[in-house]
Amino acid sequence: MPPLSSARWTNAIHIRQCVRRMSTQPGASSLPLQGLRVLDLTRVLAGPYCTQILGDLGAEVIKVEHPKRGDDTRAWGPPYAPTSDPNGGPGESAYFLAVNRNKKSIAIDFKQPAGASIIRELAKSSDVFVENYLPGTLEKYKLGYEGLRKINPGLIYASITGYGQTGPYSDRAGYDVMVEAEMGLMHITGEKDGPPVKVGVAVTDLTTGLYTSNSIMAALIGRARTGRGQHIDAALSDCQVATLANIGSSVLISGKEDTGRHGTAHPSIVPYEAFPTKDGSVLLGGGNDNLYGILCRRLGRPEWASDERFVTNADRVKHREVLVPMIAELTRGKTTKEWLDILEGSGMPYAAVNDVKGTFEHEHVIARNMIHEIDHPTCGPIKLINTPIKFSESTPGVRSPPPTLGQHTEEVLRDVLGWSAERIGEARRGGVVA
């Protein structure tokens, strides 16, 4: 048998380390990413959302936080989940709790050489390293990709930034709302005659987290084949441009400007929007000619399906300003519940417009186990949104609550790096860890 190359030898070592870790992660048995270790140097939303997905799928996620303030979002409230810790301030913010389950928190001051050294030691046995600092920041502490790949050639190193590692804006800080504005999303969001608005959640952060987690898993598959890790450059700006999707494609193909804001309506499909009812709104989706015919019958106006102005979708788009008010006049005559009953079993898409609390009380949300209650170490029982994907052979989900700041510092230093209690105490006294 020929000798293993250096890269494949490193990969073989990683596989053995992963196998050993599989038996030490509580509740992770049979999960797809069990045995993988993720070192998480991210804050706020895009990065933590990415690493939470990896944690949900079974990876051991070690979250590195500032020893005093922790992740920025710990202070982003109210609301807070009240804490029993007399020194815990107002409690844990709902924002932080949203994207940090299934993680261990270790508080390290990596601006101190001793703190940066701890992170390098952890990186040696990690499979994935995720960070969201401005380009060049971590290089100052010898924690950049080129430095860490020398001590761990199999490391998957993901950098999440506002504008990427290259390009004229690469040094610019980027938050979700700025990127929504600059990269086209805000311009196409809002009512037709109203100003541009941001999406109700930080959707650019979330899609960037999704893209990055997906890319990390692809890189892990690539490493299994080549034995080598790689650097992933994920930018909010790129991900936002990518998710312009069909609207962006329409501009590229037509060579014309986009059609602006349409509220809940669709620029290329009619009827496909929210219509007023006696007590709220109902969303109706006549996405093709057959569905439009079903809608006409359920509205009690079957003749509209053969009206020459509305026969095809192209006709309906052309006569949008005629058809939409006709439908709205009818929908105003009944309550939302009455319309839901009329449309039940029709085969066409429809929905009530619910608020968030109503969503969490929705029978389908409850049936799909999308809300999970778990005991937090200082806040007691808290409810979290569960992971959305169901697997046939495993059960990803909430195994551990979001950690308190530095909750696992001693555990990680002892169990991962083999530090003695005396050494840990010395690092605490020096302010290197907390």
Q: How far apart are CA 212 and CA 7, in angstroms?
A: 24
Q: Is the pLDDT of residue 396 over 50?
A: yes
Q: Rounded to whole angstroms, what are the CA distances from 338 to 280, 327, 431?
A: 11, 15, 63
Q: What is the pLDDT, as a whole number, of residue 429?
A: 96
Q: Looking at residues 274-296, what average pLDDT do you find? A: 96
Q: How confident is the model at residue 9 (pLDDT cuts 50, 70, 90)?
A: very low
Share of the chain above pLDDT 90, in %: 90
Task: Quick: pLDDT tens for 297-344.
Answer: 999 999 999 999 999 999 999 999 999 999 999 999 999 999 999 999
DSSP class of residue 102 equals: S
Query: 415: closest CA among 10, 26, 9?
Result: 26
Q: What is the pLDDT, as a whole number, of residue 1?
A: 40
Amino acid at 333: G
Q: What is the pLDDT, as a whole number, of residue 19?
A: 47
Q: Looking at residues 181-208, what average pLDDT do you find? A: 96
Residue carrying structure tokens 């005629």 = 322
Which candidate in 109, 176, 205, 238 is catalytic?
Answer: 205
Q: Rounded to whole angstroms, what are the CA distances from 303 to 56, 125, 271, 292?
A: 51, 69, 16, 11
Query: 127: closest CA among 214, 211, 33?
Result: 33
Q: For residues 317 and 262, is the Cβ–Cβ distance under 8 A?
A: no
pTM of the predicted model as reported, rounded to 2 decimal places? 0.90
Q: Is the pLDDT of residue 239 over 70?
A: yes
Query: 338: closest CA among 396, 389, 299?
Result: 299
Q: What is the pLDDT, as a whole number, of residue 352?
A: 94
Give residues with Cβ within 8 angstroms of 361, minimum separation 6.
none
Q: How far apart are CA 410 and CA 107, in angstroms?
A: 10
Distance from CA of residue 385 to its chain's centroid? 12
Q: Considering the chain, what is the average pLDDT of its residues?
A: 93
Q: For residues 282 and 331, is the Cβ–Cβ distance under 8 A?
A: yes
Query: 284: closest CA among 223, 374, 348?
Result: 348
Q: What is the pLDDT, as a whole number, of residue 134?
A: 96
Residue carrying structure tokens 């590229």 = 252
Q: Looking at residues 196-223, what average pLDDT do you find? A: 98
Q: What is the pLDDT, as a whole number, of residue 17?
A: 56
Q: What is the pLDDT, as a whole number, of residue 18?
A: 54
Q: What is the pLDDT, as a whole number, of residue 25?
A: 52
Q: Is the pLDDT of residue 28 over 60?
A: no
Q: How far apart are CA 128 and CA 126, in angstroms?
A: 6
Q: What is the pLDDT, as a whole number, of residue 85?
A: 80
Q: What is the pLDDT, as a whole number, of residue 2?
A: 43
Q: What is the pLDDT, as a whole number, of residue 3?
A: 42
Q: What is the pLDDT, as a whole number, of residue 53?
A: 98
Q: How confident is the model at residue 383 (pLDDT cuts 50, 70, 90)?
A: very high
Q: How confident is the model at residue 86 (pLDDT cuts 50, 70, 90)?
A: confident
Least confident of 2-6, 110-114, 389-393: 2-6
* 72 flagged as catalytic: no
H helices of 132-201, in order, are: 145-151, 176-182
Q: Is the pLDDT of residue 22 over 70?
A: no
Q: Tell me how far apart the terminal alpha carbons of the chain are, to the nearest angstrom.
A: 49
Encoded tokens for 254: 């037509």
Q: What is the pLDDT, as a whole number, of residue 89?
A: 81
